[in-house]
Amino acid sequence: MEITGPWTRAAAAAGLLKDGVARPTVFAQMSARAAEHGALNLGQGYPDDAPPQAVTEAAVAAIRRGQNQYPPGAGEAVLREAIAEHQATWYGLRWDPAREVLVSTGATEALAATILALVEPGDEVITLEPFYDQYAAMIALAGGVHRTVPLTTRTDGATGDLVLDVDEAELRAAFSERTRLVLVNTPHNPTGLMLWVGALQAIVEEASRHDALIVTDEVYEHLTFGPAHLPIATLPGAQDRTISISSAGKTFSVTGWKIGWITAREELLTAITGVKQWLTYSSGAPFQPAVAAGLRLPASAFHDLAAELRSRRDLLTDGLREIGFRVSVPEAGYFTVADASPLGEPDADALAERLPSEAGVVAIPLSAFYRDGAAGEASSYLRLAFCKSRSTIEQALEQLDTWAAPRR
């Protein structure tokens, strides 16, 4: 019997299946390679750090007091209130916690429910390229048409570093009367780029002109190393057409808890809830009050985490530069992009396959974040995570240095 259905057919058409079954993500493949070779895993973006103590203790206390059954579908009131408070305190955005905030199973479910609720077959959805790989999968499953705006690359004349950016004219040109959604990911995975205000304004203008909705994925909102994150919903005319998505995973080093959230005006949130309730209904009962406690931590707790991460970014980027990679120095997030072509390695897919056995280090080829793996001029780029412990990063640099020595 052929085991298939509309979603598996859409996934197959989008190249998401291999031999009829879900193609493992590159992260799963590379983490398996790390285990196989005992290699240091700078591939998948999960931190080595423990969550803030207050957050851990709140989760333990919730389990002990018996908060272990289904939470309400929209999320525990205490968390919805903390999310609304956080948006008001940090960004001046006002949301009604009872009607305009929805708790989800990570940003992943929030993105899935939003795209499935709002995209009709044939609608166009715009993202940057490279993009977080779930976007392509969800757009395909909804029957949407994925349009991308490629990031531009250049070499900084003074430092020789790689600079990634977005071109405003290309951004504007991606919009048409078929555009339903523009999915904005800032700070951006995989590059750590933060969209500057001019680019955000262009998105709001074009979305308004074409009556499109804006979905913003802000899971790295607190991991910034220079200017603070600017939510697109704060721009004039944006809040009413914007669905803002974030999650606790990165902010509190709890990627396994899968607590995310959406803020949007009631009419949009009702449509999204209509899908979300049939996906997981609800999840993470004891983690919800713990994340509420985290969101109410003083600003210094958020800044301390970002400062620590910034020092590890510097450790990794300085080390990779010395080894001979052309590096980009990200403004936010967990990852840096390193170009291996100066080391005589033009094909990052092949290099990522070999690195676990040759250098004992796992990295992800940037092609994993391009449609059909076609990375063009980024074909020699790797993504490496610096959310790991200092000792792991130092050890990985040492091993990469030994590996690179004959290539310099």
* Cis peptide preceding 187, ω within 30 of 0: yes
CA atoms within 13 A on the CB side of 75: 33
Q: Least Å distance between CB 335 and ligand PLP?
A: 9
Of the chain, the end-to-end C-alpha distance in Å amounts to 55
Among 14, 30, 42, 45, indicate the residue that binds ligand PLP (CB under 6 A). Answer: 45
Stretch that binds ligand PLP, among 85-93, 102-110, 144-152, 343-351 (CB under 6 A): 102-110
| Interface with ligand PLP, residue 284, by CB under 6 A | no
| Interface with ligand PLP, residue 108, by CB under 6 A | yes
How many angstroms separate the CA atoms of 141 and 11, rounded? Answer: 6
Nearest position to ligand PLP, beta carbon: 106
Query: 363 CB contacts (<8 Å, ≥6 apart)?
Result: 30, 42, 43, 338, 352, 355, 382, 383, 384
Q: Evaluate whether 175 touches 203 at the Cβ level (below 8 Å).
A: no
Among 244, 255, 263, 380, indicate the residue that binds ligand PLP (CB under 6 A). Answer: 255
Stretch that binds ligand PLP, among 86-94, 106-114, 381-389, 397-405 (CB under 6 A): 106-114
| Interface with ligand PLP, residue 273, by CB under 6 A | no
Positive or negative, the CA dihedral 339, 345, 347, 352 is negative
Q: Is 91 exposed, middle or buried (0-12, 13-18, 19+ CB in 10 A)?
A: middle
At residue 398, the 3 state secondary structure works out as: helix
Interface map 166-205 toward ligand PLP (x if CB under 6 A): -------------------x---x----------------
Query: 343 CB contacts (<8 Å, ≥6 apart)?
Result: 323, 324, 325, 404, 407, 408
| Interface with ligand PLP, residue 43, by CB under 6 A | no
Q: Least Å distance between CB 383 and ligand PLP?
A: 11
Q: Least Å distance between CB 382 and ligand PLP?
A: 17
Among 82, 184, 213, 219, indicate the residue that binds ligand PLP (CB under 6 A). Answer: 219
Stretch that binds ligand PLP, among 121-129, 254-262, 323-331, 349-357 (CB under 6 A): 254-262
Q: Which position has the token pair 């100066």?
A: 342
User: For residues 112 and 329, which CB has a smaller minimum distance to ligand PLP in the complex?
Assistant: 112
Q: Evaluate whether 222 touches 251 at the Cβ level (below 8 Å).
A: yes
Stretch that binds ligand PLP, among 100-108, 297-305, 316-324, 387-395 (CB under 6 A): 100-108
How many angstroms separate the CA atoms of 359 and 407, rounded? Answer: 13
Among 43, 71, 231, 260, indicate the residue that binds ligand PLP (CB under 6 A). Answer: 260
Q: Least Å distance between CB 61 and ligand PLP?
A: 23
Q: Which position has the token pair 């490629």?
A: 150
Q: Least Å distance between CB 280 and ligand PLP?
A: 11
Helix residue ranges, H only, 41-196: 53-64, 77-91, 106-118, 134-141, 168-173
User: For residues 108 and 379, which CB has a smaller minimum distance to ligand PLP in the complex?
Assistant: 108
Among 129, 217, 339, 345, indicate the residue that binds ligand PLP (CB under 6 A). Answer: 217
User: For residues 153 and 189, which CB has a smaller minimum distance to ligand PLP in the complex?
Assistant: 189
In this structure, what DSSP letter does residue 363 have?
-
Q: Least Å distance between CB 217 and ligand PLP?
A: 5
Q: Is 297 exposed, middle or buried (0-12, 13-18, 19+ CB in 10 A)?
A: middle
User: For residues 253 and 404, which CB has a smaller minimum distance to ligand PLP in the complex?
Assistant: 253
Interface map 131-160 toward ligand PLP (x if CB under 6 A): -x----------------------------
Integer angstrom CA distances of residue 330 from 166, 354, 361: 14, 25, 21
| Interface with ligand PLP, residue 288, by CB under 6 A | no
| Alpha carbon of residue 289 to chain centroid | 23
| Interface with ligand PLP, residue 247, by CB under 6 A | yes
Which tokens is 280 given? 């997981």
Pick out residues in 307-346 that bind ligand PLP (CB under 6 A): none
Q: Least Å distance between CB 394 and ligand PLP?
A: 24
Please give the single-letter amino acid code of residue 13: A
Q: Which positions lie near ligand PLP, rule CB under 6 A?
A: 45, 106-108, 132, 185, 189, 217, 219, 247, 249, 255, 258, 260
